[in-house]
Structure 1
Amino acid sequence: MTRYITLLVVFFLALSESFACEVCGCSASSAGLGLVSGFRNHTLGLRWSEASFEGAGEGQDVGAQDAFHTYEFFARYHLSSRWLLAAGLPYRRNVRQASDGDRLSQDGFSDPRLLVGYVLLDQQQLGKSGKLYLEVQAGAKFPLGRYNSDIHQENLPENFNTGYGCFAYLAQANAVLLMGKAGLSWSASAQFNGRSTDDYRFGRQLTSSLLGFYQLQPAGGWLFIPLAGLSVEQIGADRYPTGLSVHGTGGNGGFALAGVNVRYRDWQIAFAARLPAWQSYSDGKVDARTRLTLELSYFF
């Protein structure tokens, strides 16, 4: 039961993964699926995420609103007690509501990802009641989504493409410390983007999160796990083909996170909200708003 609870709890590492600053010209990270498997190890699921931004400071973009929606099918399969595969296929809808009332959007499949994971510690005993789980993952995103190098002709920036026209290399680590019914989960990830087809390079992304949780297990096969914590991200500036940095890209921020994980038998639903605690994006030209995630998982 302890192993089951731990694997169930830390699916939320996926939800706490930083979305990365879309307005800053960076892709949505989701650099790993986290530990989303239940006690039967294999998982299929659907996830919706939204990140929104509003223009700030001075200039014609003040009041403009950008919303980035991602609808993703994901899967996780354990090859053995130590090795696993994780994959995701996202569909993106990016919408800009300009300050003059114009509404622009881009829709389409984004770049799929595939990661290989290895369990380093599986319920390692720590003291009398502590148990530690630790896994690492590495993989890539593949440039199969739509990328338009001339998107500026549609009055949209590069980050409004649903695909990014390049390979991206992914790395992630997930850890869970379980102490009775309470615990801590930690996640860190990195995404390094290659050159797009027009030699444009999106900035690298570094994210980390720390969550506390408590499990409530009433009768009837239900399990409720409220969670709260903090996630942070650091986004590098984009680069032109010449190697010069793109003005107004990159930044960093921290988010207070709260959510709940509800499971009944083989089905699980989860919700998370992240509120900006501090931020500095696009040289202060945009402000991040509340980010939302909703996920449905099936274990088999």
Structure 2
Amino acid sequence: MNKSFLLTVVLFIATFYSSYACEICGCSNGNFQIGLLPNFNKGFMGFRYSASRFSSHLRDDASEFSHDYYKTLELWGGYNFRKLQVMGFMPYVISRKESDDGITNASGFGDLLLLVNYKIWSTTSLSENEKVTVRNELYVGGGIKLPTGVNRVDTDNPDFNIGDFNSQAGTGSVDYIFSVTHNLMWNRSGIVTNVAYRVNTANQQDYRFGNRTYINTSYYYTFTKAATKIKPNVGINYQINAINKFEGAEVEDSNGYNFNSTVGVNVLRKKIGVNAMAVIPVKQDMYDGQTKLQSRILLGVTYSF
């Protein structure tokens, strides 16, 4: 893994910061996305930019609506200790909400995420005709999300709304991530599959986001020209959200799922990598169909050392 430009699932939290007047507007506070690791021997550092657009309409009152735009600026990096890989992610979130109540702009730091992956299995073999080299890798990992992000919900405020918890850059809770990743590579092609589970805890206001399950898979192919490697990729991801709870009671319609397709490309030249990805919604049911992801793009640059 250290000397090859492999497609690897990278889990990162992208927390969104915005303001809403209704209980269902906007998206959940954390989403995992597929990314590409740069080519590095010891470590890397990078910068990511993502832009997302959501729309919400209340089922019982069509006059209440919200169009929400989120931009996330994220510093991230990683370091290898033989079979152990440590990564960290720190986002800064900017949002704009256009709703029946007017226009609201906000920004703030999100929650810090730390991840550790360990390679437990790696094999390399030749096909029967000895023309194709097949490589398998299996990783297990875990991580913790720390409540470093902005979270200003005041449940004693007379204007408090349960939807306020969705409007913060941070969840205010300590959450745990467990994952398994499999890489299958042959010649210039590969398939990477990841299954992850996030366990959310209650924050100081006794609000607990439901646990989440993530399933991602992608296919990639590598084109090489001189010292440059170009790696286009396509994939799918599926996210399931369990129901949220406030003071032990379930928050109505707060569970759901999101099924997306992805298309992207990574370009690597020596120690510099550039990547881009678009997330295309296929099927979704968030807040009983009242909130929908419209589009999402991700751009990034990395430096390896």
TM-score by length of 1: 0.87
Q: What CA distance in whole angstroms lies between the structure 2 residues aligned with 1:96 and 1:291? A: 16
Equivalenced residues, count: 289
Question: Per the alignment, do residues 61 and 104 of structure 1 end up closer, same or farther by CA in structure 2, a change over 3 Å counting?
Answer: farther
Match of 2:93 in 1: 92
Name which of 7, 14, 22 aligns with 1:10: 7
Rounded Cα–Cα distance in structure 2 between residues aligned with 1:74 and 1:223: 22
Aligned ranges for residues 62-81 of structure 1 at < 5 Å?
Answer: 63-79=65-81, 81=82
Contact 2:16 2:93 in 1 (8 A): no
SS of match in other structure, 2:45: strand
Task: Quote the Cα distance in structure 2 between the aligned partners of 1:107 and 1:162.
Answer: 8
C-alpha distance in 1 between matches for 2:16 and 2:252: 15
| Residue matched to 1:279 | 284
What is the aligned partner in structure 2 of residue 292 from structure 1? 297
Match of 2:29 in 1: 27
Tell whether 2:138 aligns with 1:137.
Answer: no
Unmatched 5+ stretches in structure 2: 18-24, 128-132
Report the equivalent of 1:108.
108
Q: In 2 relative to 1, CA 172–68 (structure 1 residues): closer, same or farther, beyond 3 Å?
A: farther
> Aligned to 1:289, what secondary structure does the other structure show?
strand
Q: Which residue of 2 aligns with 1:119?
A: 119
Structure 1 residue 154: Cα displacement:
7.8
Equivalent positions of 1:1-300 (< 5 A) are 4-5=3-4, 8-11=5-8, 13-14=9-10, 26-30=28-32, 36-56=37-57, 58=59, 59-60=61-62, 63-79=65-81, 81-99=82-100, 102-122=102-122, 124-128=123-127, 129-150=133-154, 153=159, 157-219=164-226, 221-241=227-247, 243-300=248-305
Measure the CA separation in 1 of the matches of 2:72 and 2:160: 21
Bigger proportion of residues as helix:
1
CA distance in 2, matches of 1:248, 1:190: 21
Please tell me whether the aligned partners of residues 43 and 298 of structure 1 are also in contact (alpha carbons under 8 angstroms): yes
Aligned partners of 2:275, 2:64: CA distance in 1, in Å? 34
Q: Distance in 2 between matches of 1:180 and 1:292?
A: 29
Structure with greater proportional strand content: 2
**Pairwise CA distance, 1:108:** 0.9
Deviations 1:180-209 (A, max 9, x none): 111111122221111111111112121111
Shift in alpha-carbon separation, 1:238–1:61, aligned structure 2, 3 A: farther
Cα distance, 1:223 vs structure 2: 0.5
Residue 7 of structure 2 aligns with an amino acid whose one-letter code is V
Q: Percent identity?
A: 21
RMSD of aligned alpha carbons: 2.6
Residue 126 of structure 1 and its aligned partner are, at CA, apart by 4.5
Equivalent position amino acid for 1:55 in 2: S
Give the residue type in structure 1 aligned to 2:148. Answer: L
The secondary structure found in structure 2 opposite 1:283 is coil
**8 Å contact kept, 2:138–2:180:** yes
Cα–Cα, structure 1 residues 52 and 253, in superposed 2: closer, same or farther, change >3 Å? same
Offset of residue 105 of structure 1? 3.1
1:89 is displaced (CA, Å) by 1.0
The alignment partner of 1:157 has SS state of helix
- Does structure 2 conserve the Cα–Cα contact (< 8 Å) formed by 1:9 and 1:225? no
Residue identity in the other structure for 1:117: N
Contact kept? 2:14, 2:32, Cα under 8 Å: yes
- 1:140-197: CA deviation from partner (whole Å, max 9, x where unpaired): 1111212112288487631111111110011222221111111111122221111111
Give unpaired runs (5+ residues) of structure 1: none
Q: 2:20 aligns to what?
A: none
The change in CA–CA distance for 1:238 and 1:106 in structure 2 (over 3 A counts) is farther
Cα shift at 1:29: 2.9
> Which secondary structure does the structure 2 equivalent of 1:164 belong to?
coil
Which residue type is aligned with residue 71 of structure 2? H
Q: Which amino acid aligns with 1:269?
A: V
